[in-house]
């Protein structure tokens, strides 16, 4: 693949992009935070999600339930997911580009940092999910830099599921590849093909709340760039070419 990363792809496989921040805070924070952000950001819609029906004591007593998303706000062309110790931000499709996405992330970070019931942040992440369409990328091994041998036998690549964790400096990237997946897009259409899911995570170890949020804002570009570079490194030259890269 060309070492120079494209500005965009003529045939973009992206189906979802999610920014997540995890933080400490007052108990049962989600309902209050939902109201605050709805008002301060000028959101137009609030939805209660199924996990909100779990009893409060159950969510508080089980660490596995700590980061469930309990409500969702519609904020222009973005969705904000809110839990007791977590917030997510995801743009509607089509993807607006990193510059606009980063601007919205910083707006939300500012609101969280100014809300006293939210305490220190301890991690943030980016997850980008792509589906490389069957009609363009028929063979996973021609599209992705993946090598796999199992008992010297042939197997159906559409049944392939791979998950690996790749450490890089201060971050870790959880990469999942599925030989065949089906996604329903917001306009009701579907896309099927090879799924590449890259979740890039960075822990934050700062003494104060202000320091933790400032660190995240400073590191947004770094973690996003690592995620982007990893995706393109996964592509073979042929897979990259079929996406019709555009350089401005």
Q: Please write the tens of the pLDDT for every residue from 71-116.
A: 999 999 999 999 999 999 999 999 999 999 999 999 999 999 999 9
Range of the domain at 74: 11-240
Does residue 39 lie within any of the structural domains?
Answer: yes
Supply the pTM of this predicted model: 0.94
List the alpha helices (DSSP H) in 42-149: 56-61, 98-114, 140-143
Does residue 47 lie within any of the structural domains?
Answer: yes
Does residue 64 lie within any of the structural domains?
Answer: yes
Of residues 202, 245, 196, the one with CA closest to residue 226: 202
Does residue 222 lie within any of the structural domains?
Answer: yes
pLDDT band for 61, please (50, 70, 90 cuts): confident
- Rounded Cα gap, residues 90 and 73, in angstroms: 11
Does residue 31 lie within any of the structural domains?
Answer: yes
- Rounded Cα gap, residues 107 and 103, in angstroms: 6
- The pLDDT assigned to 2 comes to 56
Does residue 153 lie within any of the structural domains?
Answer: yes
What would the pLDDT profile of 173-212 be if each residue is shown by its tens digit? 999 999 999 988 877 889 999 999 999 999 999 999 999 9
Does residue 246 lie within any of the structural domains?
Answer: no
Does residue 245 lie within any of the structural domains?
Answer: no
When divided into structural domains, the chain yields a total of 1
CB 220 within 8 A of CB 110: no
């Amino acid at each position: 693949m060309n070492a120079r990363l494209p500005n965009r792809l003529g045939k973009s496989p992206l189906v979802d992009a999610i920014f997540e921040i995890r933080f400490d805070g007052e108990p049962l924070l989600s309902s209050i935070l939902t109201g605050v952000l709805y008002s301060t950001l000028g959101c137009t819609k609030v939805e209660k999600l199924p996990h909100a029906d779990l009893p409060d004591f159950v969510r508080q007593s089980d660490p596995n339930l700590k980061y469930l998303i309990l409500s969702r706000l519609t904020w222009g062309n973005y969705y904000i997911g809110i839990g007791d110790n977590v917030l997510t931000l995801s743009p509607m499709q089509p993807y607006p580009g990193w510059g606009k996405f980063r601007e919205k992330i910083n707006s939300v970070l500012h609101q969280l940092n100014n809300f006293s019931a939210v305490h220190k942040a301890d991690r943030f992440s980016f997850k980008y999910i792509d589906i490389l369409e069957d009609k363009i990328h028929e063979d996973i091994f021609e599209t992705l830099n993946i090598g796999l041998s199992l008992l010297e036998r042939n197997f159906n690549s559409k049944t392939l599921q791979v998950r690996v964790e790749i450490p890089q400096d201060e971050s870790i990237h959880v990469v999942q590849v599925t030989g065949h997946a089906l996604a329903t897009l917001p306009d009701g259409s579907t896309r099927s093909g090879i799924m590449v899911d890259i979740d890039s995570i960075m822990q934050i170890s700062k003494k104060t709340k202000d320091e933790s949020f400032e660190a995240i804002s400073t590191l947004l570009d770094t973690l996003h760039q690592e995620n982007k570079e990893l995706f393109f490194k996964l592509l073979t030259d042929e897979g990259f070419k079929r996406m019709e890269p555009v350089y401005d």
